[in-house]
Structure 1
């Protein structure tokens, strides 16, 4: 299944900026109370030490991470009050994808460097590194641009800055892995 890009624009009629949970620590007690009700522990008040522990975390996963932490603590604490030691270990830094979001070009370069170092040890890759990398990068590039252009090869080629016949040839399955990128007719 493919995502319909027009739906994104229908859903984004009005954007609301919501700061991350780590910048809204005063919301944590109310959110915790709400999630505890959802988890079947309505009416339970968290001890001040547990509230403090929740408010000290960075919550890189935002509200979803908070909910999951409370679900974990509910299971571990069983029927007793949820104490700070019932909470799962905190994630103390953003996950790797955040680094990509911050600086995609550097993250891509570092990934290519790691990939190259890994393949240098693979004897079967000798003499084919460039070809392998080009195929690896071209497939998602062509697929995404082609999807963005609604399957129109001419428009996709123009956006990519390559000739239409070059793109058609690469999409047509003449190269390994290219067949699944064939444009819609």
Structure 2
């Protein structure tokens, strides 16, 4: 393999002469090969022969704007291009962490089509949230942040209600800013707050300023 990658030549079984191959080799992985090389579990010479041009594809949870196009593609590939996706269903899909990436999305759509039967629009009720997906969701977004804060409070803490409320409010502000890329107006809208109230909470918790949208001035 190393010689083939280096010289683009090979020999057939039983032949003495070499043949040239005009091919383009693509290799994919979901692990950090540089770490594996450093740990001695992946051959360094093979790594450097493969490491010519890299294309890094972020996980689905980091490119949720692709969801509508991916859903449309999978509906067509599954033979149901006439089926649409409701806004409520799209919002539900955006809340999921998708640890299985695009394959998991395809399976979810196929399962939803079975639930839909002969209907023409997928709603949130057609997307089943399995136990392992529910656990993954608790590690992601608002739900996970809230659970982690609740578990972090000592059971013998005095004024538990006020301690819990303060922590949750701060966590929600921080997560909203993170989810909206620091846009204060979008973060306030996400939490159902007006801009002035959200700004007061930011100052109260000393949250990073982030960026302001044009309408903030």
TM range (shorter): 0.3 to 0.5
- Give TM-score scaled by structure 2 length: 0.38
Relative contact order higher in (CA < 8 Å, ≥ 6 apart): 1
Greater helix content:
1
- Give TM-score scaled by structure 1 length: 0.44
